[in-house]
A and B are shown apart, each in its own frame.
Chain A
Amino acid sequence: MSRWQVGVDVGGTFTDVVLVDPTSGTFRIAKVPSTPADQSEGVMGGLRQAAADLPEMTAFVHGTTVGTNAVLERKGAVCGLVTTAGFRDTLELGRRTRPNPYGMTGTFEPLISREFRIEVPERVDAAGRVLIPLDEVAFESAVRALIERGAEALVIHFMHSYINPRQELRAAEIARKIWPNSYVTVGHEVLREAREFERASTAAVNASIQPIMARYLGRLAGKLGDDGFEPEPLVMQGNAGTMTMRAAAEHAVQTVMSGPAAGVLAAARVGVEAGIGSIIACDMGGTSFDVTLIRDGSPSLSAEKDMAYAVPVRVPMIDVHTIGAGGGSIARISRAGLLQVGPESAGSRPGPICYGRGGTLPTVTDANLLLGRLDPASMPGIERAVPVAAVREAILEHVGRPLGMDAVQASTAIISVATNHLASAIRLVSIERGYDPRDFALFAFGGAGPLHATALAKELGVPRVLVPRFPGATSALGCILADLRHDFVQTINSPLAESDGAAFDAILAEQAARGRAIVERERVPVDGIVVVHEADLLFRGQSHVFRMPVISPGFDPALVMRDFAARYRARFNIELAEMRVILVNLRTCVVGTRPKISMELFAPAPSSGSPAGPHAVRSVHFSGRFYETPIWRRESLTVGSTLDGPVIVEQMDATTVVDPGARLQVDRLGNLIISV
């Protein structure tokens, strides 16, 4: 019996589909243009292209940008907010900031507009005591007023509900009776953590994307069902876990960063199976460069991310650092006469000059073309062929002449500055957190990742680059690999030395039980359930917490304290023995592990007979001169092949560049391992 599993990732430009049958060891891959108006059309198109027979499929996992885009473009559902008297404007005031350190301009639109925010008498203090009981009559009329004004989703957000949620719960009970649909978001249910603005923002993000996710996922599930798919489809979460579509519609905020999380997860797994546990995952596409640090096979998560200016989301998400740099980044000369690449991007419209979609400003892709690294004949984005001479002239005009360089020198300079910019993003996620990038391998994916990875590794002193079998389909692959996952947090805020470990064990056990119950309700086949407990700690007086794993049952405050001091010393080289340790939050992560799929499945067939040769030779520029460079097709590389740079490997959705002096080897899984 076949056990086909489907992973689908919808990106800005392409929708990628990966089909895997672990029992027979077969897989299929498809790539179709995304359909932004209704992403489900692209998904179904991709499934058709992959010839997916839906009744035969046992699992469907989806990475989507529907929710993220709705927030970024402020196209979410119309939401209403009912909150504690005196705090109507929390979402609009934020934390007293401005968009940039310098410059007094810029604007901000709160996720919920002021006419949709209503106050009611109600107040709990910081110790959880009720100072003013909920005025239920006022609350009910506030909810009715919001329905009348046309709000589709409701947020209930009361002060200090993380410590005493009873008034919020009572309000939710009233609201759920009269609200015309199920879109009621309750602050402490989304995030049981102090900081009223961050909790309100997280709840508002949830509410504003909930109806949109529900509609989209409902539509998609319907189409899948019509075509004979029976099990409940799954959705990727930003924490690199997955959950059912029904749960995703309810906990919509968890789907933020769903796509990047899938890519990072795949990177981690491919790395582990290739025997390289510590990698820096680099996803480079047309407009952005996403970097994530993965240590010992586990990607780091962060609950400190802002989706946009003044839109914090405080649920754990994959810790992706994004900069505006990609193939479409525009090169120009600044007022100071410095060469700058990005952050402005030509995007996919008009795109790089060589795409022939009307672009006139030179981009990174154009520079790569001029240096011979890309072959216009085999690039997927080309709409109308543009003569190389036109690209050369644009690079000369905008970069070459102002700097007194010829076109090739200017192109080299553009690539160097871009590489340096990418390198600084990598330094930020590694060095800044106390890790040396030289202890990692670069994992290059996305359309443009493998093109720059070798140069990037050289710049950073990183010894190895790993290019997976299908760089462009990495996120779709990650969807198939994801486990079910649910996170819980509870604010504690008390000195650790004077605490009772047993009470903490009880809280952590309750979180674990809630997680187990959700996993069981989801009825997705799992191998087992793994529970991980963590604590956020700080020294009294500080405000930045330090997260670390803890053991429970058997939470021992003295042991945790010693462990914390040691980890703090290792990170910051600072000893603070005289300070009191405060336990800020307790966290639990519950993972339902799905059956593992081995990457061996994607390994190319062992070489049969004489190895095929390069399909072409092209003149490619590296460090100061042109080299006659063999061009290989990825499909013709067999396990164990070794090639010395310069060499270029082309495949449907990516081009891998191996510089002179570097050596490429194909490992047993079909990955390209480049020694720099």
Chain B
Amino acid sequence: MPLDPVLLAVVHNGLRQVATEMDLVHEKTSFSPVISEGLDRSNGIYHRDTGEVIAQGEMGLPSFVGVMQFSTQSVMERRKDIGPGDIVLLNDPYLGGTHLMDVKMVMPFYYKGSRWCWLSNTGHWPDTGGMVPGGFTSTATEIHQEGLRIPPVKLFRAGVMDDEILQLILQNIRVPEERIGDIKAQVGALKVGEQRLTELLDRYGADVVDQCIVELKSRSRQQMGSHIESVPDGVYESVSYCDSDGVVPEKLAIRLTMTVRGSEIDFDFSRSSPPCRGPMNCPAALTRSSVYVAIKHIFPDVPINSGCFAPLHVETPSGTFLDAVYPRPCAGAASEVSQRVIEAVFLAMGQAMPDRMFAAPAGTSGNFSLGGWDPEQRRAYIMYMFSGGGYGGYWAADGLTNGCSSIGISKTQPIEILEQHYPILYEEYALREGSAGPGQHRGGFGTNYRVRLLRGEAKASFLMDHGVGGPPGILGGGPGGCNELVVHQSGSETRPLHVSKGEGYALREGDFIQVRTPGGGGYGDPRKRSDEAVAADLKRGYLSPQQAAEEYGGNRRPNLRASIGQAAQ
């Protein structure tokens, strides 16, 4: 008997709402600013037998879209001894993970005495030990330098927290007292999910909800399939580059062969660079998840469940840096490599259907961490900041300025709040003029900031990307500006060997750093940009007169000469 369409819609909303409420409790109560401000967390419901995603919160961090099901599956494979009240904790990147800072909890959910599904969540902890406060090392050569690696262990047994495991963890990480709060927040979210899901099943019946889940999966699959059918069949090749792995100063290539056939797509990354020495290796689960995120960005209306991704086939890129195996370091995978994988998919799709696409976004999280001692407050601190960049121009308009990373939905912290907490002064936090990739629809702008250390001593670390080549444009649009990073120590300037990466820069009072983040790629031939649009950009100081002349052919456009002349004065 076909399902009542109304019931189906109701159950669909109900399941999503369970996950969304879990996200909210997690965000509101956590201590890690990366979770509470950055929303770097995700909660979801996973299938009892397959571990596949049934529903995930719409406001969960996109990069966890696929990853969470892979880590749930790892727990299912490795822990056959799980019962009611148990909660398994893990952060092992090789077990369907990302980087060590993303700590997952997996909890079996029982309904009327039998296991009905799994509830899982991830939260980004500000520290898990390791060689760099905050965990964003760019120089580790094995995972043991990156922090504490936790296999699937039971943090809760039959409802009781295992204090020995807790103490083992807390003694191996920095600023441990606040992590107790984060653990409580993460557990609290799972408990809310348990309560709401029980109510949903009581209301509609477990059998009916089961049927709905099967049906919803098939509908999502059908919906994604119909989107893919609208993409012309063919084989499309693209390549995107990471600046380097932070250890060996050479570019890393992500080479994608994307084959569109009917309602399915194959993604082959096997020609990518081999495993690297530095921490830019990417676990295969994250590579796969990044493909999912890219496609969801292109077809955002397909509801998240395993059916949504069924038409996407990503072969495990064995023998490349996109399939990290022990003990390869991978601290840069979650925030940087994943965005390059997404970019490769965007570029391939840009060839397949340019009239419905956007040029590449800035695509780096711009991780900047500062650890030091504040003599005035008499306390040690770890500051962590990420930054945005321009989005690519697209068929209808210019790209967004200072958009967040493609894998995130996080807000940056206000400068006033950062200055309250740390002995630093932002002398500038501005739109980065001239950074937009030129195009008929230009890219959005990156940011430009300068931070000075006011007192004491500190060490600065950077894990960024797109410092060597800017985010590419499409259909004749130009690339956005490259990431730039300059460290000013006692009057001398240093540009890191790895351009966008480096760590352990010792800062003293008065020293400062300057960061310029990438602009988005341009869409279409810049000469087709209207005179009025270029003139407005000049008036607002978005463009220099020179750029207007060179990139937009301004000197050969009589209506623009006056604007250029005026701006030049």
Interface string of A90-101 (1 = CB under 8 A from B): 101111111111
Q: Cβ of A89: which chain B residues have Cβ within 8 Å of it?
A: 429-431
Q: Tell me whether A576 and B181 are in contact (CB under 8 A).
A: yes
Q: Assess A103 versus B300: contact at CB under 8 Å? Given A92-B401, A432-B21, A543-B33.
A: yes
Q: Tell me whether A544 and B28 are in contact (CB under 8 A).
A: yes
Q: How many residues of B sit at the interface, in one of the four size bands?
A: 35 or more
Confirm or deny: B414 has a beta carbon within 8 angstroms of a beta carbon on chain A.
yes
Within 8 A of A (CB), among B1-46: 5-6, 8-10, 12-13, 17, 21, 24-25, 27-33, 36-37
Interface string of A329-341 (1 = CB under 8 A from B): 0000011111110
Confirm or deny: A159 has a beta carbon within 8 angstroms of a beta carbon on chain B.
yes
Confirm or deny: A541 has a beta carbon within 8 angstroms of a beta carbon on chain B.
yes
Q: Tell me whether B31 and A197 are in contact (CB under 8 A).
A: no
Which stretch of B78-86, B264-272, B330-338, B537-545 is in the interface?
Answer: B537-545
Interface string of B389-402 (1 = CB under 8 A from A): 00110101110111
CA distance A231 to B184 in the complex (A): 57
Closest to B59 in A: A101
Q: Assess A96 versus B388: contact at CB under 8 Å? Given A89-B431, A101-B59.
A: yes
Interface string of A63-106 (1 = CB under 8 A from B): 00000000000000000000001111110111111111111111
Q: Tell me whether A413 and B58 are in contact (CB under 8 A).
A: no
Which residue in B12, B404, B406, B429 is a CB contact (below 8 Å) of A97? B404
Which residue in B181, B296, B429 is a CB contact (below 8 Å) of A539? B181
Which residue in B6, B28, B346 is a CB contact (below 8 Å) of A572? B28
Confirm or deny: A107 has a beta carbon within 8 angstroms of a beta carbon on chain B.
yes
Q: Tell me whether B27 and A417 are in contact (CB under 8 A).
A: no
Which residue in A92, A107, A131, A432 is a CB contact (below 8 Å) of B397? A107
Q: Tell me whether A573 and B398 are in contact (CB under 8 A).
A: no
Q: Cβ of B404: which chain A residues have Cβ within 8 Å of it?
A: 96-98
Confirm or deny: A298 has a beta carbon within 8 angstroms of a beta carbon on chain B.
no
Q: Tell me whether A337 and B401 are in contact (CB under 8 A).
A: no
Which stretch of B136-144, B145-153, B222-230 is in the interface?
Answer: B222-230
Which stretch of A4-12, A108-116, A265-273, A352-360 is in the interface?
Answer: A108-116
Confirm or deny: B315 has a beta carbon within 8 angstroms of a beta carbon on chain A.
no
Q: Tell me whether B431 and A159 are in contact (CB under 8 A).
A: no
Q: Tell me whether A92 and B431 are in contact (CB under 8 A).
A: yes
CA distance A576 to B302 in the complex (A): 39
Confirm or deny: A403 has a beta carbon within 8 angstroms of a beta carbon on chain B.
yes
Confirm or deny: B62 has a beta carbon within 8 angstroms of a beta carbon on chain A.
yes
Q: Tell me whether B13 and A420 are in contact (CB under 8 A).
A: yes
Among B346, B392, B400, B416, the one with the most A-chain Cβ atoms within 10 Å of its Cβ is: B416
Closest to A414 in B: B6
Q: Tell me whether A196 and B222 are in contact (CB under 8 A).
A: no
Confirm or deny: A469 has a beta carbon within 8 angstroms of a beta carbon on chain B.
no
Q: Cβ of A416: which chain B residues have Cβ within 8 Å of it?
A: 6
Confirm or deny: B158 has a beta carbon within 8 angstroms of a beta carbon on chain A.
no
CA distance A177 to B412 in the complex (A): 37
Q: Tell me whether B28 and A195 are in contact (CB under 8 A).
A: no
Confirm or deny: B180 has a beta carbon within 8 angstroms of a beta carbon on chain A.
yes
Distance in angstroms from A289 CB to nearest chain B CB is: 15
CA distance A185 to B539 in the complex (A): 25
Confirm or deny: B409 has a beta carbon within 8 angstroms of a beta carbon on chain A.
yes
Q: Cβ of B542: which chain A residues have Cβ within 8 Å of it?
A: 114
Closest to B177 in A: A578
Q: Cβ of A131: which chain B residues have Cβ within 8 Å of it?
A: 425
Distance in angstroms from B112 CB to nearest chain A CB is: 21
Confirm or deny: B419 has a beta carbon within 8 angstroms of a beta carbon on chain A.
yes
Distance in angstroms from B315 CB to nearest chain A CB is: 24
Confirm or deny: B290 has a beta carbon within 8 angstroms of a beta carbon on chain A.
no
Q: Cβ of A420: which chain B residues have Cβ within 8 Å of it?
A: 6, 9-10, 13
Interface string of B417-441 (1 = CB under 8 A from A): 1011000011111110000000000
Q: Tell me whether B219 and A338 are in contact (CB under 8 A).
A: yes
Confirm or deny: B297 has a beta carbon within 8 angstroms of a beta carbon on chain A.
yes
Confirm or deny: A610 has a beta carbon within 8 angstroms of a beta carbon on chain B.
no
Q: Tell me whether B416 and A194 are in contact (CB under 8 A).
A: yes
Distance in angstroms from B550 CB to nearest chain A CB is: 22
Confirm or deny: A308 has a beta carbon within 8 angstroms of a beta carbon on chain B.
no
Among B297, B398, B400, the one with the most A-chain Cβ atoms within 10 Å of its Cβ is: B400
Within 8 A of A (CB), among B303-318: 303
Confirm or deny: B403 has a beta carbon within 8 angstroms of a beta carbon on chain A.
yes
Confirm or deny: B163 has a beta carbon within 8 angstroms of a beta carbon on chain A.
no
CA distance A431 to B13 in the complex (A): 14
Q: How many residues of A sit at the interface, in one of the four size bands?
A: 35 or more
Which residue in B180, B301, B346 is a CB contact (below 8 Å) of A578? B180
Q: Cβ of B303: which chain A residues have Cβ within 8 Å of it?
A: 336
Closest to A415 in B: B6
Q: Tell me whether A102 and B296 are in contact (CB under 8 A).
A: yes
Confirm or deny: A125 has a beta carbon within 8 angstroms of a beta carbon on chain B.
yes
Which residue in A101, A104, A105, A125 is a CB contact (below 8 Å) of B419? A125
CA distance A106 to B394 in the complex (A): 9
Q: Tell me whether B401 and A544 are in contact (CB under 8 A).
A: no
Q: Cβ of B302: which chain A residues have Cβ within 8 Å of it?
A: 336
Q: Tell me whether A339 and B6 are in contact (CB under 8 A).
A: yes
Q: Tell me whether B414 and A101 are in contact (CB under 8 A).
A: no
Interface string of B440-474 (1 = CB under 8 A from A): 00000001001000100000000000000000000
Q: Cβ of B419: which chain A residues have Cβ within 8 Å of it?
A: 125-126, 160
Within 8 A of B (CB), among A529-574: 539-544, 572-574
Q: Tell me whether B300 and A541 are in contact (CB under 8 A).
A: no
Q: Assess A572 versus B416: contact at CB under 8 Å? Given A102-B62, A108-B400, A338-B12.
A: no
Q: Tell me whether B31 and A541 are in contact (CB under 8 A).
A: yes
Which residue in B12, B21, B36, B540 is a CB contact (below 8 Å) of A114? B540
CA distance A417 to B13 in the complex (A): 10
Confirm or deny: B358 has a beta carbon within 8 angstroms of a beta carbon on chain A.
yes
Confirm or deny: B191 has a beta carbon within 8 angstroms of a beta carbon on chain A.
yes
Distance in angstroms from A618 CB to nearest chain B CB is: 24
Confirm or deny: B91 has a beta carbon within 8 angstroms of a beta carbon on chain A.
no
Confirm or deny: B563 has a beta carbon within 8 angstroms of a beta carbon on chain A.
no
Confirm or deny: B352 has a beta carbon within 8 angstroms of a beta carbon on chain A.
no
Confirm or deny: A427 has a beta carbon within 8 angstroms of a beta carbon on chain B.
yes
Q: Cβ of A348: which chain B residues have Cβ within 8 Å of it?
A: none
Q: Cβ of B28: which chain A residues have Cβ within 8 Å of it?
A: 544, 572
Confirm or deny: A198 has a beta carbon within 8 angstroms of a beta carbon on chain B.
yes
CA distance A340 to B9 in the complex (A): 8
Q: Tell me whether B301 and A424 are in contact (CB under 8 A).
A: no
Distance in angstroms from A101 CB to nearest chain B CB is: 5
Q: Tell me whether B420 and A105 are in contact (CB under 8 A).
A: no
Q: Tell me whether A113 and B400 are in contact (CB under 8 A).
A: no
Q: Cβ of B500: which chain A residues have Cβ within 8 Å of it?
A: none
Q: Assess A196 versus B431: contact at CB under 8 Å? Given A336-B220, A337-B222, A338-B8.
A: no
Which residue in A93, A99, A540 is a CB contact (below 8 Å) of B431? A93
Closest to A95 in B: B411
Confirm or deny: B410 has a beta carbon within 8 angstroms of a beta carbon on chain A.
yes
Confirm or deny: A636 has a beta carbon within 8 angstroms of a beta carbon on chain B.
no
Q: Assess A542 versus B6: contact at CB under 8 Å? Given A93-B402, A576-B184.
A: no
Distance in angstroms from B516 CB to nearest chain A CB is: 13
CA distance A417 to B431 in the complex (A): 44
Which residue in B5, B392, B400, B414 is a CB contact (below 8 Å) of A403? B5
Q: What is A's interface to B at a CB cutoff of 8 Å?
A: 85-90, 92-108, 113-115, 123, 125-126, 131, 159-160, 162, 194-198, 334-340, 403, 413, 416-417, 420-421, 424, 427-428, 431-432, 493, 539-544, 572-576, 578-579
- In the assembled complex, 25 residue pairs joining A and B whose CB atoms fall closer than 8 Å, in A order, are A85-B427, A88-B431, A92-B402, A93-B388, A93-B430, A95-B411, A96-B388, A96-B412, A97-B409, A104-B406, A126-B420, A159-B415, A194-B414, A196-B416, A337-B219, A417-B6, A420-B10, A431-B196, A541-B31, A541-B33, A542-B31, A572-B25, A574-B29, A578-B180, A579-B178
Other A-B contacts than A92-B431, A114-B541, A575-B184, 17 sampled, CB-CB below 8 A, are A86-B430, A86-B450, A93-B430, A104-B403, A105-B397, A197-B414, A335-B222, A336-B302, A339-B5, A416-B6, A417-B5, A540-B178, A541-B31, A541-B32, A542-B31, A576-B181, A578-B177
3 A-B pairs with the lowest CB-CB distances in the bound complex, closest first: A96-B388, A86-B428, A102-B300
